[in-house]
Amino acid sequence: MEIQEIYCSQTGDKCNFIKHSSGLKIYICEMNGFSTTEALFGTKYGSINTMFKTGKDKDYTTVPEGIAHFLEHKLFENEDCDAFALYAKTGANANAYTSFDRTCYLFSCSENYLESLKILLGFVQNPYFTQETVDKEQGIIGQEIKMCNDNPGWKVLFNMLQGMYHNHPVAIDIAGTVESIAKIDAELLYKCYNTFYNLHNMVLVIAGNVKTADVLEVADELLKSCENIELETVFPHEPYEIVKSEVYEHLPVGMPIFNIGIKCAPLSGYDRLKADMECYVAGNAISDPSAPLYKKLIDEKLINSTFGFEVFEGDGFFALIFSGESNDPKKVLSYLIDEIEGIKAHGIDKELYNSIKKSTYGGLIMESNNVEAVASNLISAFMSGVEPYDQIKVLSEMTYDDVQKTIIERFDTKNLTLSVIE
């Protein structure tokens, strides 16, 4: 198998890429001087992938919401014991998570990483579900859903997404609902497993204190070759426009919290990354503490230091989110719209643009210093369909005009939803 070295000319960082004969893509970053190893075994299967078919199927299958997350929980158990009991023997710190577009199983450790890697590759490739264990899990996940519903930061986001998306499953809680998970049975879990946990749809990322040759030896031993099943996932048609412009809910919170989401047309691959980075710089030029809007909102006591911005994107969705705490979220919104329209008309302040860009570059350098962040960036690149280090490449090629154009094209102030928990 060919080991391809991927090099980042901006920072001098590098990693190895291997297209394994089993169908799995493997990224390995050897980091000198670090003691920990971070490994992630992930599949492009998240809460939004509820409609799919393989090359052999005639029709699309639709599955209950929350099933990817349910599967994540169940995969931790095999016939004899659960994966935590296996990891207990190596000392590794193990976990798993499901997000909108992926499910990842991970461990970090500072000893015996090859033993832990064997456990990881072993249990993820060996599902074991029975109706009895599925029933038991419904109780635990039911508690998890209730816990999330008591988290106002989580609720304000999903209320906003429901105000923005008509049909796209991004608006549904990752864990599903108590009702939707009640429809899950062992047979459905096997169907989803066999579809999405095909090595052609998966990736292994390992960073830190590792040796490529040793990782590949374990991979050769344990990876089971998979036939490429030509998996296709689809999303229901999603109009460009939002559903409604305001969503309010009452819950116990201190200061009312808000999310303002601007809905944008979705993109994929390198174009999405480029738009993401441009929007990141643009959004910070609007909302950073050094920007005029922030000062104005602080001076009028409309926000506190929790005010922030993020780009929220994935397959079939792309949104720009401003969030914070305020006694008057509507007034914050009106100032925000004025600021965006002002920048569209007069251009971003050049000095502000340059300092935000420099700060973004510094942030990427800081991340390259951290084993966990390196592994996380490698897996994100795979999930987004771009190359490692494309982020810093996009940033170094970015121009002022690109960012100005992005504000005009994507910061559509007529297509936004305000969500408030008070």
Partner 1 sequence: MANYLRKIIADGVGYSTIIDPKFKTNRIQITFLTDLLEETAGANALAVGIMSSSNAKYKNISEITAKLNSLYGASISVDVVKQGDYQKLTVGVSSINNRYALEGEDISGETLSILLDCIFSPNAQNNEFAKEPFDFRKKDLLDSIEAEINNKRGYAVLQNQKKAFAGENSGNSHFGTKETAENLTSAQAFASYKRLLSDAQIEIYFVGSEENDTIEKKISDAFSKLDRKVKENKFINFSPLKQNVYRFEEKLDVNQCKMVMAFKTDCTDRHAMKLMNTIFGGTPFSKLFLNVREKLSLCYYCASNYSMLKGTLFVDCGVEEENIKKAEQEILNQLEEIKKGNFSDEDIKNSLLSIENSLKGIGDTPMSYVNWYYSCFVQNEIITPAQALEKYNEITKERIIKAAESIKLDTVYVMKGE
Q: Which residues are catalytic?
A: 72
When asked if residue 122 is in the footprint of partner 1 (CB under 8 A), the reply is no
CB 224 within 8 Å of CB 395:
no
Number of other CB atoms surrounding residue 404 within 10 Å: 18
For the segment 44-83, give every residue that binds partner 1 (CB under 8 A). 82
When asked if residue 87 is in the footprint of partner 1 (CB under 8 A), the reply is yes
Structure tokens at 247: 């969503």
User: Nearest approach, Cβ of 248 to partner 1 (angstroms)?
Assistant: 15
H/E element holding 188? helix 186-196
Q: Which is nearer to partner 1, 332 or 416 (CB)?
A: 332
When asked if residue 90 is in the footprint of partner 1 (CB under 8 A), the reply is yes
For the segment 161-220, give every residue that binds partner 1 (CB under 8 A). 208
When asked if residue 257 is in the footprint of partner 1 (CB under 8 A), the reply is yes
CB 10 within 8 Å of CB 393:
yes
Using the rule CB under 8 A, which residue among 92, 134, 375, 420 binds partner 1?
92
Phi, psi of 3 (to 5 degrees): -100, 120
When asked if residue 39 is in the footprint of partner 1 (CB under 8 A), the reply is no
User: Nearest approach, Cβ of 392 to partner 1 (angstroms)?
Assistant: 11
When asked if residue 356 is in the footprint of partner 1 (CB under 8 A), the reply is yes
Q: Which is nearer to partner 1, 123 or 165 (CB)?
A: 123
User: Nearest approach, Cβ of 93 to partner 1 (angstroms)?
Assistant: 6
When asked if residue 139 is in the footprint of partner 1 (CB under 8 A), the reply is yes
Q: Which is nearer to partner 1, 60 or 84 (CB)?
A: 84
Using the rule CB under 8 A, which residue among 22, 54, 61, 110 binds partner 1?
110
When asked if residue 136 is in the footprint of partner 1 (CB under 8 A), the reply is yes
Candidate segments 42-50, 163-171, 337-345, 363-371, binder of partner 1 by CB under 8 A:
363-371
Q: Which is nearer to partner 1, 287 or 406 (CB)?
A: 287
Q: How big is the chain by its Cα radius of gyration, in Å?
A: 22
For the segment 381-420, give every residue that binds partner 1 (CB under 8 A). none
When asked if residue 132 is in the footprint of partner 1 (CB under 8 A), the reply is no
For the segment 267-326, give every residue that binds partner 1 (CB under 8 A). 288-291, 294-295, 298-299, 301, 304-306, 325
User: Nearest approach, Cβ of 76 to partner 1 (angstroms)?
Assistant: 9
When asked if residue 108 is in the footprint of partner 1 (CB under 8 A), the reply is yes
When asked if residue 140 is in the footprint of partner 1 (CB under 8 A), the reply is yes
Label residues 387-403 b or e (16+ Cβ within 10 Å = b): ebbbbbbbbeebeeebb
For residue 184, CA distances in Å to 48, 68, 84, 191, 403 come to: 16, 11, 24, 11, 45
Using the rule CB under 8 A, which residue among 228, 363, 399, 408 binds partner 1?
363
Burial of residue 160 (CB within 10 Å: 0-12, 13-18, 19+) is: buried
Q: Which is nearer to partner 1, 196 or 307 (CB)?
A: 307
Say which amino acid occupies 172. Answer: I
Residue from 230, 232, 206 nearest 18 by CA: 206
Determine the Cα–Cα distance for residues 114 and 112; give it in Å rounded to an integer.
6
Q: Which is nearer to partner 1, 366 or 408 (CB)?
A: 366
Determine the Cα–Cα distance for residues 374 and 211; give it in Å rounded to an integer.
16
Q: Which is nearer to partner 1, 103 or 108 (CB)?
A: 108
Determine the Cα–Cα distance for residues 65 and 100; give it in Å rounded to an integer.
11
User: Nearest approach, Cβ of 80 to partner 1 (angstroms)?
Assistant: 14
When asked if residue 331 is in the footprint of partner 1 (CB under 8 A), the reply is no
H/E element holding 109? strand 103-109
Strands across the sheet containing 14-19: 3-7, 14-19, 25-30, 202-208, 37-43, 103-109, 93-98
Residue from 90, 38, 84 nearest 373 by CA: 38
